[in-house]
Structure 1
């Protein structure tokens, strides 16, 4: 069976999340640098094909509560992300947020335009 447009759009969303998480996990971050890092992540991932939008929120209050020496490393526990893919008139909305101590990436919705 050939993959459907819907399958391809969901696959593209997964690729974007894999790139985002594994490219930026471990980046030094502080509450002062969070805004610029959010923009850098968004702009980097938005360069990829079929990426309609990326919204990254680094949870600065949580980050500040856990910093001992000026900064820490970026991990999933400090991130909430939404990525929207537009592939051949199929829109996929995906999110990443902590669930049961794990940065879970999931499909929120898929719709034909």
Structure 2
């Protein structure tokens, strides 16, 4: 982004945060509803990481299944699996865009999978 031509135009820091938001939207909405069991949690987590790491500007993605929550949901439900939602994983991403590094996370906060920028450098 050309920061010199328009003082109101988004800069590289905003662009990097936007890229992080795109990746969160993809990870959340692409995989929501995927059948998930305690036995398949690791393979789905790796697939999510590899899919998102294909996107431009993505340096790293870590998806950590929340086994306690997953096992409880399966025990309470009528089937041996549930549908993936953000409550079943903690996610961390690092995005690098035009010399700016953005670190993000998604974790459960008061029963909601909150996505947030945790650090911006550059």
The reply to whether TM is greater than 0.5 is: yes
Unaligned runs of 5+ in 2: 1-7
Aligned-residue CA RMSD (Å):
0.8
Which position in structure 2 is the counterpart of 1:107? 117
| Alpha-carbon distance in 1 for matches of 2:17, 2:73 | 34
Larger Rg: 2
Shift of residue 61, structure 1, vs aligned partner:
2.1
Shift of residue 22, structure 1, vs aligned partner:
0.3
Asked whether 1:50 is paired with 2:57, we answer yes
Unaligned runs of 5+ in 1: none
Paired residues, number:
112
Decide which of 70, 78, 83 is 1:73's aligned counterpart. Answer: 83
Which position in structure 2 is the counterpart of 1:3? 10
| TM-score, normalised via structure 1 length | 0.96
Shift of residue 62, structure 1, vs aligned partner:
1.5
- Runs of 4+ in structure 1 deviating by more than 2 angstroms, as ranges, are none
| Alpha-carbon distance in 2 for matches of 1:59, 1:48 | 25
Q: Deviations over 1:56-112 (max 9, x none)?
A: 011112201220321111111111000100011100000001111111100000001
